[in-house]
Amino acid sequence: MPTVIVATGNPGKLKEMQVYLTPLGWELQLKPKDIEVDETGTTFLENARLKAREVAIATNQWSIADDSGLQIDALNGAPGLYSARYGQDDHDRINRVLRELKDVQDRSAQFVCALALARPDGSIALETEGICPGTILTEPQGSNGFGYDPIFYVPSQAKSFAEMDSQEKETHSHRGVAFAQIMNQLQNLTLE
């Protein structure tokens, strides 16, 4: 069974990736705690590449990374790369977005997830970007999920991410779209 290092220190992210990658039979492991990667990219894809590349080189193993966030049209793409740092916690981040959109009519937004898989030498083997279009609600709806899920409404499903069960979100989310786009290539890849 090939081992792939997930370029994160977050056990929740590892668990989430495992859901998508289970069919591949890979053993996923968190990156070692002493490896820190500065996310200096200007796009989600650049940051995913940086994380995958640096962790692969440091561990001399295959590495997969993602970078994701919320982009709101009326806020010129904010919070974007700073989605996780747009406030102290989920509640604070949601309230900030709702305040900034208080009198805004166009509430269109999208969640973006960039994925990159790096070989042990740091070269990028595969990459993709998944997008889930939606709108920002005027108040939170639903209790599932995390982050901006209660205010991100997906018109095609007529519910917020926080109103979806885990299987619905896995299928329709930006991360689900990204993995669906790349899964055939991953299945045909031989990890050496």
pLDDT tens per residue, range 12-35: 788 889 989 999 999 999 999 999
How confident is the model over 116-166, as pLDDT tens digits?
A: 999 999 999 999 999 999 999 999 999 998 899 999 999 999 999 999 998
Q: What is the DSSP letter of 151?
A: G
Query: Quick check: pTM over 0.85?
Result: yes
- Domain ranges across the chain: 3-187
d(CA 30, CA 109) in angstroms, rounded, equals 31
CATH topology of domain 3-187: Maf protein (3.90.950)
Closest CA to 107 of 78, 138, 85: 138
Q: Which are the catalytic amino acids?
A: 67
pLDDT, position 96: 97
CB–CB of 39/47 below 8 Å?
yes
CA 170 to chain centre: 11
Q: Which parts of 21-170 are beta strand (E)?
A: 27-30, 62-72, 108-118, 124-136, 152-154, 159-160
